[in-house]
Amino acid sequence: MSLSVLFRGVSIACRPGLLNGVLAAALLSSLPAAAATLPSGFTETRVATGIINATAMALAPDGRIFVAQQGGQLRVIKDGALLPTPFVTLTVDSAGERGLLGVAFDPAFATNQRVYVYYTATTPNIHNRVSRFTANGDVAQPGSEVVILDINPLSSATNHNGGAIHFGPDNKLYIAVGENANGANSQTLSNLLGKILRINSDGSIPTNNPFYNQAIGKNRAIAVLGLRNPFTFAFQPGARRAFINDVGENTWEEINDGLAAANYGWPDSEGPTTTPGHTSPLFVYGHGTGSTVGCAITGGAFYNPGIVVFPPSYVGRYFFADFCSGWIRVLDPANGTATAFASGIPGPVDLHVADDGSLFYLARFTGSVWQVTFDASLEVTANSAPTATITAPAHRTLYSGGDTFTYSGTGVDPEEGVLSPAAFTWRVDIHHADHTDSFVLPTTGASGTFTIPTAGQTAAVWYRLHLTVRDSPGLTDSMFVDVVPRPLRR
């Protein structure tokens, strides 16, 4: 299925990997110098332009920005200028959605100068690969490539490659891999396609991976499965949470709460699911052309910087973008609602929040990187958000009608320590096949109980328990667990 991009009234059938050549040149010549419409108080600055077929970027600790070009060049933006010499030029297959697709810095980059990339290698067969390079200033040391992981050979299908790579708070490298346009790949532990992978920085596989004892060989790297094309994902700084953006097919774009061993349902489901053993998205939006719909979720970043310069209401929120509709929206993880932020962006493909509190976005159609800022003289806080943890019940605990569950949790704040029960807000939602209702309205306290009704329980009904903790200045953190029906015995 091709994506539909509607820009300035012109409909273009394309995928992020297909907009190039004459069509790209014609489109770029018609684009405005200023890209986005922003809320009051926000301004943007174009950091650099001249990037060809951009796919991803990463912010270096020293302020440089590394930008991946699909054709295989990793470019460097330094002191507001795109350097003429690439950091490295790789031989890639760039057909369709293949090519140089991801970049990440080692957590110890300041001392070891290691840069990781995800690209489509051409030998000994066409496959996606994660490699490591060592920097020598603004270029890679010659001959420094170390292959970290070779992913399964690709079929003739050139779409659904994923490509995002990030180091998590555990210093493990996480890798998003598409299912190569074959949904069956997503539901098996016999290959790495349609998954999020978790490996050590040297390519070895952690023995505490969730499927380590079920899978064999490199398939032990699988951390979650059931994904279609997770083009981007993001970790929340200072927390243990990750959101996975999965590009949908006909109906829904998904933001999935990254949970170890979770199965997000593809291809058996797209969007909310009641299939036993599958985890529903935290948030979905539909397909179409407009301010709340689109066709490809292609960027995401949590707003938890070292210095907060956006209004405090943005702290802990999740920015996400749609490639086709050209907007950025903001998700509140505490209640699952999203609001508008920016519009009119020509093909956003990646988002990042810098330590200085600004938001960067990468616009593919204009080959440019933009920085969004807010007047820091208005509202600045160095306060860090708390961490919420649900200690009971466990995620995906089984229930029967009439069961009573006791829930409990903890809230810890970097400045205040252990939060009091008054800082806790709980709620329970009941999920049906096609809609969601409130079951337990928001209530405070460190613990409580709820009882599953005996009537109306089917395989398509399940419950989601939400916890939000709030510190004194008003910053929050949230998490949830699901309580799902026991399978019917035959």
Q: What is the CATH number of domain 3-374?
A: 2.120.10.30
State the pLDDT at residue 381: 54
Closest to 69 in 3D by CA, of 42, 98, 100, 92: 100
Residues with Cβ < 8 Å from 353, sequence gap 6 or more?
A: 301, 302, 303, 304, 305, 319, 359, 360
Element (H, E) at 267: none
One-letter identity of residue 350: D
Q: Which of 258, 214, 373 is nearest to 308 (CA)?
A: 373
Computed over every residue of the chain, the mean pLDDT equals 90
* Percent residues over pLDDT 90 in the chain: 77
Paired residues of 10 in beta bridges: 7
Residue-wise pLDDT tens digits, 70-99: 999 999 999 999 999 999 999 999 999 999
pLDDT over threshold 50, residue 18: no
Q: In percent, how much of the chain has pLDDT > 70?
A: 91
pLDDT at 251: 94
Among 146-160, 292-306, 456-470, whose mean pLDDT is lowest? Answer: 456-470
**Cα gap 67→37, rounded to integer Å:** 23
- Say yes or no to pLDDT of 217 above 80: yes
Note the pLDDT tens digit of each residue in 284-333.
999 999 999 999 999 999 999 999 999 999 999 999 999 999 999 999 99
Task: Give the three-state DSSP class for 382.
Answer: coil
Query: What is the rounded distance in angstroms from the CA atom of residue 481 to the CA atom of residue 86?
Result: 45
Nearest-CA neighbor of 173 among 148, 147, 151? Answer: 148
Q: State residue 385's pLDDT score.
A: 83
User: To the nearest 10°, the Cα dihedral for 370, 372, 377, 382?
Assistant: -110
List Cα–Cα distances, 143 to 103, 116, 335, in angstroms. 18, 14, 49
Number of Cβ within 10 Å of residue 448's Cβ equals 16
The confidence band for 487, taking pLDDT boundaries of 50, 70 and 90, is confident
Query: Residue 34: its pLDDT value, please?
Result: 52
In tens, the pLDDT along 320-365 reads 999 999 999 999 998 899 999 999 999 999 999 999 999 999 999 9
pLDDT score at 35: 67
Band (131; pLDDT cuts 50, 70, 90): very high
Q: What is the pLDDT of residue 269?
A: 93
Q: What is the mean pLDDT of residues 393-411?
A: 94
- Residue 37 has what DSSP assignment? B
Average pLDDT of span 220-240: 95
pLDDT at 23 over 60: no
| CATH T-level fold of 387-485 | Immunoglobulin-like (2.60.40)
Tokens of 460: 């398509």
Between 75 and 387, the higher pLDDT residue? 75
Q: Using CB atoms within 10 A of its CB, is residue 310 exposed (0-12), middle (13-18) or buried (19+)?
A: buried
Q: Is a pLDDT exceeding 80 seen at residue 27?
A: no
pLDDT one-digit tens code per residue, 100-123: 999 999 999 999 999 999 999 999
**pLDDT recorded at residue 4:** 30
CA distance 106 to 426: 37
Pairing of strands 476-485, 139-140: unpaired
Q: What is the pLDDT of residues 422-450, one digit of tens each?
A: 899 999 989 887 677 778 888 889 999 99
pLDDT at residue 28 greater than cutoff 70: no
- Segments making up each domain of the chain, as ranges: 3-374, 387-485
